[in-house]
Structure 1
Amino acid sequence: MQLTRQIGEHLVAAELGRLGYIAAPFAGNVPLYDLFAADSRGHAIPIQVKAINGGSWQFNADAFLDIEVKNGEQVVKGTKKLLNPKLLCIFVLLVERGKDEFYLFHLSDLQKHCVKVYKPRGRSSKNPDSRHCAVSPKEFSRFKENWELLESALQQ
């Protein structure tokens, strides 16, 4: 798991370099982002990176949704206000050398996905306390190799 994360962050940094950007990854765990990318003008943005070897990217729905438990049942009260809805996310599917896939989108896109797919749990669920949510490469195929988003983010 830790190795997958590290590989993903370094692959993103390398790909950014190939595209002519400067990438500065962080050695430790910065809560909201994993690296900075800058263009030749010095404009920089933070980037959140997540990597998987297969399957889907996992996350907690309560990062995006206001979830309350009433009488043992989860109730979604609405969406949470994101600190940085335009945060650029780059999710990586590790395939094999030279064939890895990059998915670029805003954090708000992940929140919209969560709103669409999250099923509140209740007493009859295997794990009624779970806030698990996931997104597969297929579900985010429209964001595959969406490098234009990086350039537009650096223009703002």
Structure 2
Amino acid sequence: MATGRSNKLVGQTGEYMIAAELSRRGLIATTFTGNVPHYDIIASDEAGRHVSVQVKASRVPSWQFGNITQYCDITFDGKRQVVGDRKPCPVRRLIMTFVRIEDDGNDRFYILPWERLRDLLIDHYQAFLSRHNGVRPKNWESLHCAISEKILNPCRDKWNIIEKNLR
């Protein structure tokens, strides 16, 4: 069973793993250990170009997000949820990194721009709502969303996205 402490350790481990991988790739990676609202790491190159990086870590093949309204507007028509406008990225050039932490050390990394994550989450959320006529089956008011490793698979090891976004 996941506890608050074990969840913190998974998150902290993920941040350090991403920072280490960025360093291995020639970037200076500074972690903020959850003290900055939208990102966990600033990565910079020799020229001083930098990019903000958000880290999501998990020991299971999915990552949970508290609320889809971080990514789009939701209105209610009775119990039906209606997906509205997509929201802009909260930080310019924000890169999302996901790490699947494995006990055997065969960890997996997924890298994508925030806007691509937003679009994947919204598309998945809309598809789920469509299968249920717009009403979430267990709790119609829930705005919880998640993304699976299967959906992120095309983003595996796309470290070049970070380098492309250095400015």
**TM-score normalised by structure 1 residue count:** 0.90
Q: CA deviation at 1:78?
A: 2.5
- For residues 11-50 of structure 1, the aligned pairs below 5 Å read 11-50=17-56
Cα distance in 1 for residues equivalent to 2:121 and 2:34 = 27
Judged with a 3 Å threshold, the aligned counterparts in structure 2 of structure 1 residues 144 and 96 are, in CA distance, closer, same or farther, namely: same
Q: 2:139 is matched with which residue: 127, 130, 135?
A: 127
Say if 1:16 and 1:23, in contact at 8 Å, map to a contact too. Answer: yes
Cα distance in 2 for residues equivalent to 1:98 and 1:56 = 18
2:61 match: secondary structure: coil
Cα distance in 2 for residues equivalent to 1:45 and 1:37 = 5
Cα distance in 2 for residues equivalent to 1:52 and 1:39 = 28
**TM-score normalised by structure 2 residue count:** 0.84
- For residues 2-151 of structure 1, the aligned pairs below 5 Å read 2-59=8-65, 60-84=67-91, 86-96=93-103, 98-118=105-125, 119-120=128-129, 122=135, 125-151=137-163
1:131 match: secondary structure: coil
Cα distance in 2 for residues equivalent to 1:116 and 1:73 = 17
Superposed CA RMSD: 1.7
Cα distance in 2 for residues equivalent to 1:33 and 1:12 = 12
Cα distance in 1 for residues equivalent to 2:165 and 2:25 = 15
2:119 match: secondary structure: helix
Cα deviation, 1:70-109, whole Å, max 9, x if unaligned, reads 2232111232233336311111010135421111100011
Cα distance in 2 for residues equivalent to 1:80 and 1:18 = 33
What letter corresponds to residue 68 of structure 1 in structure 2? T
Cα distance in 2 for residues equivalent to 1:109 and 1:67 = 19
Q: 5+ residue gaps in structure 1?
A: none
What letter corresponds to residue 145 of structure 1 in structure 2? D
What letter corresponds to residue 61 of structure 2 in structure 1? G
Identify, as 1 or 2, the structure richer in helix.
2
Say if 1:65 and 1:80, in contact at 8 Å, map to a contact too. Answer: yes
- How high is the sequence identity, in percent, across the aligned residues? 37
Q: 5+ residue gaps in structure 2?
A: 1-6
